A and B are shown apart, each in its own frame.
Chain A
């Protein structure tokens, strides 16, 4: 009996806070916009009993999904989100790998401190940190002031409200999510493996590509997904740092919901987004499972 409580707890959690909300959103995505409260139709009339449910179900349709698929705005927004998130993830990986590598190779008594420094930014609100970047990147901001005072540029650069600013924002915000799994997989690689490779005739850089890199793949994979998945649906960063030409699905969803008050379409956008992300999530799960089976 006790066992069932233990197993049941996470499932109950998932049911209440994921599955039930998901079905509510899914239901809304199948309805039509209406000038009402709530702003869609049909609504479920449980008082009317079985007939009420039947009429409710008959009024649902997939019209919103066909609309999303046919309107290039949405398709472009999905595609551009995946693209921006993909490129940003790759840049994050390039920045994070040397940091994680340095941490893993640092003296043991330093590693805890370095880890603290990596997660230190979480002590400040995410939103405030993104606002801070606005202050840094704007025309008369810190970065431009610095570059002009150094004499590197004559005119201030336009960075804020461009896609570049979005990349900077994503890389900065999600860097710890990349560093931590990378560090944990790099830290597990025994130094004797590298020594063995060198002893067998492999120069250090070749030993890196033959031993360190393949053994850190699980960390790379985990880190990339931890950055990619939330970055695709990111709203705050493109909204605050991006320009009008930065097309991301999170922003589209927001304006659909709050500006157009079109709950059914925005729900459909959200459901499609979920399915776009399911593939990498499933991949992530399988990867983790394989890792556990390998018993590392």
Chain B
């Protein structure tokens, strides 16, 4: 499994801890990490699930455990199978092979309306256009034959949770996109499912509204204590809301980890490049020391040192993934013992809070460095065509073998 790469890094860390900064080990995500607790049983389990549509394999032998109260994100480019996985859990698609369990019970053969533990919020919201907001939210409760008074109370509760009381008697077409999104959420949450499925829930909102809605989703997930599974192609959204992220590609789970781990220890170039910006340097292992390795640039411009991972051997081709904010850019040649590399600035992107520098190094590769504009000045001391030096300590990059 691809996931083992970051786990390996984490396990290696204590052995060589002597000269390593503490930050090298993945920071524990507060105390909530049921996936590390062997005593916990998952609330959702996909067991060797495969889904084929004719010749097309949408999901390849996927095994996945999701735990109670998690906010789990399925992240990947469009067509990677993340929606199919979610729709199989809701019951709209049947796995070609494998079983799906919810709370230990095999639900693979149940129809969608029989899956009472699971409710879904649809990508296009799928609000019933001929019903008012109130009737939409109460729809699921009426199906269960709940008493009228109880339905009213539950609907009122859901409307209060999402601040929809004002719109109770409006029809969906009289609402804005953000309001419709909240009605769709309220309708699913009113059923009080154990597991909420969200299929690109914020995809139709503009950026500002989306950020607001992300925090609202987190608030609701925390207040209701429901397990949320969200499908998204937006890595920032996944990073913001999720307790764990599963990165998918071509129907396979490439990597499953917390947002912090996935960012700092991506495990493969695909994951590194999918989550955030990254510089990837290619090189060959020349020597392995205690906890560090020397890596040679392919074009023979010297060497750089990096923290070792298990299973490296001299001569092996590796990649170093380096986040732009971890590179230091300066005009003068640094005097530190860090890795350094000269280059020429070819582009400066000023974003206000930070600036991006695109630096061409001798190999011809363009490297991105990021600097916070902490001083209050509009004068940029590093400009186009400046000769600069990039430096980084050996312990901020991640060695990847695939």
Interface residues of A (CB under 8 A from B): 190, 192-193, 195-204, 206, 210-211, 214-215, 294-296
Number of chain B residues whose Cβ lies closer than 8 Å to a Cβ of chain A: 28
Q: Is the CB of A214 within 8 A of B126?
A: no
Task: Determine which of B111, B116, B126, B191 lies in contact with A190 in the assembled complex, contact meaning CB atoms within 8 Å.
Answer: B126
The 0/1 profile, CB within 8 Å of A marked 1, for residues 127-169 of chain B is 1111000000001100110000000000000000000000000
Counting chain A CB atoms within 10 Å of each CB, the highest count among B143, B173, B187, B188 belongs to: B143
Some 6 contacts from A to B, beta carbons below 8 A apart, are A198-B111, A199-B92, A199-B118, A201-B143, A202-B143, A203-B113
Nearest-CB residue, chain B, relative to A295: B173
Q: How far is the CB of B228 from chain A (nearest CB, A)?
A: 15
Contact B173 A294 (CB under 8 A): yes
A200-B143, A201-B143, A201-B144 are contacts. A195–B122 as well, Cβ < 8 Å? yes
Q: Answer yes or no: B120 CB below 8 A from chain A CBs.
A: yes
Distance between Cα atoms of A201 and B143 in the complex (Å): 6
Contacts of A296 in B (CB 8 A): 129, 173
On chain B, the residues within 8 Å of A201 by CB distance are: 113, 116, 140, 143-144, 191
Docked CA distance A198–B120 (Å): 10
**How many interface contacts (CB-CB < 8 Å) are there between A and B?**
69
Which of A193, A294, A295 has a CB less than 8 Å from the CB of B128?
Answer: A193
Instruction: Give the complex CA separation of A295 and B171 in angstroms.
Output: 12
B residues touching A (Cβ–Cβ < 8 Å)? Answer: 90-92, 111-113, 115-116, 118-120, 122-124, 126-130, 139-140, 143-144, 171, 173, 187-188, 191
Complex Cα gap A201–B145 (Å): 10
Query: CB within 8 A of B140: which of A192, A200, A204, A215?
Result: A200
Q: Are A198 and B113 in contact (CB under 8 A)?
A: yes
Smallest Cβ-Cβ distance to B112: which chain A residue: A198
Taking a contact as CB atoms under 8 Å apart, the answer to whether A200 and B124 are in contact is no
Q: Which residues of A have CB within 8 Å of B123?
A: 192
Add 4 more A-B contacts to A195-B120, A195-B122, A204-B113 (CB < 8 A).
A196-B126, A199-B92, A203-B111, A296-B173
Do the beta carbons of B112 and A195 come within 8 Å of each other? yes
Taking chain A's interface residues, is the majority helix, strand, or loop, or is none over half, making it mixed? helix
Beta-carbon contact of B129 and A199 below 8 Å: no
For the complex, what is the distance from the CA of A215 to the CA of B139, rounded to whole Å?
15
Residue of A nearest to B130 (CB): A214
What residues of B have a CB within 8 angstroms of the CB of A215 in the complex? 129-130
- The residue that B113 contacts in the complex, of A199, A211, A294, with Cβ under 8 A, is A199
Min CB gap B91→A, angstroms: 8
Do B113 and A202 have beta carbons less than 8 Å apart?
yes
Q: How far is the CB of A211 from chain B (nearest CB, A)?
A: 6
Cβ contacts under 8 Å, B115 to chain A? 199
Task: List residues of chain A with CB within 8 A of the CB of B91.
Answer: 198-199
Question: Distance (Å) between the CB of A197 and the closest chain B CB?
Answer: 7
Q: How far is the CB of B319 from chain A (nearest CB, A)?
A: 41
Q: Closest CB-CB distance, A184 to chain B, in whole Å?
A: 16
Q: How long is the Cα–Cα vector from A214 to B135 in the complex, in angstroms? A: 14
A251 to B173, CA, bound (A): 48
Taken together as a complex, chains A and B put the C-alpha atoms of A201 and B91 apart, in Å, by 12
Q: How far is the CB of B192 from chain A (nearest CB, A)?
A: 12
Nearest-CB residue, chain B, relative to A296: B129
Which of B92, B173, B191 makes the CB contact (< 8 A) with A200? B191
Closest Cβ of chain A to B131, distance in Å, is 9
Residues of chain B contacted by A203 (CB below 8 angstroms): 111, 113
Provide the residues of chain A in CB contact with B173, threshold 8 Å.
294-296
Of A196, A198, A203, A294, which is in contact with the most chain B CB atoms at under 10 Å from its CB? A196
* Given A206-B143, A294-B173; A199-B128 close (CB under 8 Å): no
Chain A CB within 10 A, most for which of B111, B115, B140, B144: B140
B114 CB to nearest chain A CB (Å): 9
A199-B124 contact, Cβ under 8 Å, with A214-B130, A215-B130: no
A89 to chain B minimum Cβ distance, whole angstroms, is 23
* Alpha-carbon separation in the docked complex, A56 to B91 (Å): 78
Residues of B contacting A193 with CB < 8 Å? Answer: 126, 128-129
- Which B residue sits closest to A193, measured CB to CB? B126
